């Protein structure tokens, strides 16, 4: 569906951007989970019997859930703009008609 909105002569540029975006998103999410868990252990200190700080790695799922909600909101916004006709399908309009 995404490629319907991209003219054919720009697909290489879009795919390069998608690759860079995926790499950046992976970097942010993977490092962000560690920072999130460390920050949560600092804000809500939970100690074991020896007095050492305990890290609750299950909080990483909360972090990923928040990113999932953000992605859901972006997808809904895109669908709403598409239904309203505010987005132009350039990849479909510049294609030659299909002949049977």
Q: Please state which of the ranges 40-44, 60-64, 76-80 shows the lowest mean pLDDT.
A: 40-44
Reading the block at residue 13, the tokens are 């540029």
pTM, rounded to two decimals: 0.67
Domain ranges in the chain are 2-93
pLDDT given at position 21? 92
**CA 70, 75, 76, 77 torsion: positive or negative?**
positive
Please report which confidence band the pLDDT of residue 55 belongs to, taking 50, 70 and 90 as the band edges.
Answer: confident
pLDDT in the model for residue 92: 66
């Amino acid at each position: 569906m995404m490629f319907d909105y991209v003219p054919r002569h720009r697909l290489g540029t879009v795919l390069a951007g998608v690759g860079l975006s995926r790499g950046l998103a992976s970097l942010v999410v993977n490092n962000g989970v560690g920072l999130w868990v460390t920050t949560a252990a600092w804000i809500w200190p939970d100690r074991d019997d020896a007095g050492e700080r305990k890290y609750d790695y299950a909080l990483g799922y909360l972090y990923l859930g928040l990113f999932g909600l953000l992605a859901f909101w972006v997808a809904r916004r895109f669908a709403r703009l598409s239904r309203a006709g505010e987005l132009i399908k350039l990849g479909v309009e510049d294609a030659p008609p299909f002949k049977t």
